[in-house]
Amino acid sequence: MFNFKQWVILVVCSLAILKAEGLFVNITFVRNAVARGAVCLDGSPPAYHLHRGSGTGINSWLIQLEGGGWCNNVTNCLSRMHTRLGSSKKMVENLAFSAILSNKKQYNPDFYNWNRVKVRYCDGSSFTGDVQAVNPATNLHFRGARVWLAVMQELLAKGMRNAENAVLSGCSAGGLASLMHCDSFRALLPMGTKVKCLSDAGFFLNTRDVSGAQYIKSYFKDVVALHGSAKNLPRTCTSRLTPAMCFFPQYVARQIRTPVFILNAAYDSWQIKNILAPRAADPYGKWQSCQLDIKNCQPNQLKVMQDFRLEFLSAVIGLGRSSSRGMFIDSCYTHCQTETQTSWFWQDSPILNRTTIAKAVGDWVYDRKLFQKIDCPYPCNPTCHHRVFTPQDAPPI
């Protein structure tokens, strides 16, 4: 139980975080996109939230692509189309902007006065799908790539075509999309625009699960096939490898010409739950307690996770040296760190080399300093905010 002092501290911190998340931004529907077939899974229009920049940031744009997993077969796409991840009809009208989207300098020192956009995710393919045919029995629309283009075209018309700076960012499936669309985003903007891409928790690893099966490879293969994504994946990869392999950043990122920043936890909680030890590989639930709280992990499970970290680092380092690629790989058990104020920029935010995530990303965007750091192994970093889940926190896949 909390004592009175701990309770007061908890209340004060909670109120401070609520204050940091005090900005709510209205939704905008791209209704004219429907005629072009650029629609969510259920056929509803794409959507985004835009908060205008000011002062020195008036011609700078930060585009944050929403995450939320994928759907790899008709059954789970049908389930998804009745949620905000498959229908703009289910999305909230006002969305809280905090962390990297905050409009307050004390919470978001480098991007607070930029034009900041949250692009809603409702296609289930990381904005890569494009199948013309629609089965009338399901009414499922696989049009993620069209959604991407329709939203970008609207933002260009709303002033992004005059951007001096533009950052394409995203978390999870959105972080994957920010890599997949990085060079095409650059191509949409004028030659003089300074463009960079930030992938937060989007570096999904091609590895075997604890049973030895290639679960995530098979899953991504199904996603790419169902959504017709192959033609919209980077050609620098599909010219060499199968489309399913080109859904993995480790085979794509090296060829990206636009500067990229990779922000990821080496023990990414989503990947531990869904790639390393998915339910299919853990039928008796031996990993469940460990997945809920890393402090519950048994020594043999921690050994498996340490091996996962080494494989993850090998994939990241395998991209090769780059004087433009930023990197912040911490040893926290978490997922998505740009969208939570306490992990992005707070009094006790995770740090590497005495640097917060917000400072590392800001320095990289503004060319003040190139940040390329990899954390020591768990449990060495006392600044980590390890996620603790409940059994009801069901994984997306």
Instruction: Provide the token pair at 117.
Output: 């956009």
- Residue 172 falls in the annotated catalytic set: yes
Partners of 260 in the beta sheet?
A: 197
Partners of 170 in the beta sheet?
A: 65, 199
Partners of 60 in the beta sheet?
A: 165
DSSP-based three-state secondary structure for 348: coil
* Buried b / exposed e along 135-157 (16+ C-beta atoms within 10 A): eeeeebbbbbbbbbbbbbbbbbe
Distances (CA, A) of 368 to 112, 210, 257, 364, 375: 18, 42, 20, 6, 21
For the purposes of burial, counting CB atoms within 10 Å of the CB of 167, is it exposed (0-12), middle (13-18) or buried (19 or more)? buried
The number of beta carbons lying within 10 Å of the beta carbon of residue 132 is: 10
Enclosing H/E stretch for 168: strand 165-171
Among 125, 172, 199, 269, which one carries the catalytic annotation?
Answer: 172
Q: 201: phi > 0 → left, psi -120 to 50 → alpha, else beta; which?
A: left
61 in Cβ contact with 161 (< 8 Å): no
Spatial distance between the Cα atoms of 46 and 120, rounded to a whole number of angstroms? 7
Among 123, 130, 200, 268, which one carries the catalytic annotation?
Answer: 268
List Cβ neighbours of 53 (8 Å cut-off, separation of 6 or more).
59, 60, 61, 113, 114, 115, 116
Among 49, 51, 335, 386, which one carries the catalytic annotation?
Answer: 335
Spatial distance between the Cα atoms of 274 and 175, rounded to a whole number of angstroms? 16
For the purposes of burial, counting CB atoms within 10 Å of the CB of 14, is it exposed (0-12), middle (13-18) or buried (19 or more)? exposed
Question: Beta strand pairing status for 351-352 and 194-200?
Answer: unpaired
Spatial distance between the Cα atoms of 30 and 388, rounded to a whole number of angstroms? 37
331 in Cβ contact with 384 (< 8 Å): yes
Spatial distance between the Cα atoms of 103 and 88, rounded to a whole number of angstroms? 25
- Residue 335 falls in the annotated catalytic set: yes
Instruction: Provide the token pair at 377.
Output: 């192994």
Q: So which residues are the catalytic ones?
A: 172, 268, 335
